[in-house]
Amino acid sequence: MGLCIYLNGEFITDKKLAVTSIYDHGFLYGDGIFEGIRVYNGRIFMFEEHMKRLYDSAKSLALTIPMSIEELSEITMETVRRTGYRDAYIRLVVSRGEGDLGLDPRKCGRPSIYIIADSIQLYPKEKYDVGLTIVTCSTRRNSPDVLCPQVKSLNYLNNILAKIEVNRAGADEGLMLNPRGYVCEATADNIFTIKNGTMFTPPPFVGVLLGITRQCVLDIAEKFGIKVIERNMVVHDVYVADEVFLTGSAAELIPVINVDDRIIGDGKPGPVFKKLLAEFREMTKHRGAPVYD
């Protein structure tokens, strides 16, 4: 029991044996899509939402997944079952498949499907208690009129260039702006700020992924009666916020206590964040598709 990988019809437990063609256009050109999904307490969290987004991404790229959403869902579940894990991370990837050295997707045959079920820790555990230090990156987020941010494609070079800046600055994470200077998101997570009891987050049209964990936070805020406004934000709005936190499937909810050497609030995770995090963790205990019958 442990790591399990589904690779085009075969289940593999040794990652060294999980190989694909170097002519796969996912490898050559980043032509493909993916989802990162969490398993909590033997349940695949927000599974239906992740699968729907995967198929929406595929449709946007004119990429036909060679099985129904129900079939792929069951294979994903079986991959997790074979790990024996109650808590895990799933990386579900669909590439255009093997083709030639040209760009033309018509030269590719059948799309390739890869499912990795393993563990993950994006940030050190202590960062959830003390908070992250982040910097604003000079690398701008892709403009939504060039590449739609709602498509979770395999090409993350834009984010990686920003991550390189983060690493060189010795920070934990980076804040990315769009070409007009509005706040978009972190290199892999959505961002929220809280000011005077109101929660703010960038709107979709500035170039942000409508994250599934982001939506969970919006739902929790509504439950608690917290006012939420989606609006354009500049870096100044982040600097002067009472609280800042990031959200993502891998990151979950994690606080930010320093942005470009500006201390956020009192320099500690704030009360609204703690309330949201507690409710999110409670939600993960019982919500999701059961893997083990």
How far apart (Å, rounded) are the C-alpha atoms in residues 37 and 235? 30
Residue 165 and residue 174 in contact, taking contact as beta carbons nearer than 8 Å: yes
Q: Helix 271-286 and helix 212-224: axis angle, to 10°?
A: 110
* Three-class secondary structure assignment of 25-47: HHHHHCCEEEEEEEEECCEECCH
Q: Identify the CA nearest to 48 among candidates 58, 35, 67, 64.
A: 35
How far apart (Å, rounded) are the C-alpha atoms in residues 216 and 283? 9
Residue 14 and residue 66 in contact, taking contact as beta carbons nearer than 8 Å: no
Residue 192 and residue 238 in contact, taking contact as beta carbons nearer than 8 Å: no
What amino acid positions are annotated as catalytic residues? 152
Q: Identify the CA nearest to 190 among candidates 250, 266, 120, 102.
A: 250
In angstroms, how far is CA 281 from the centroid of its own chain? 17
Structure tokens at 174: 């980076």
Q: Helix 212-224 and helix 47-60: axis angle, to 10°?
A: 130
Q: Identify the CA nearest to 284 among candidates 228, 235, 213.
A: 213
Q: Within 10 A of 193 (CB to CB), how many other CB atoms are there?
A: 23
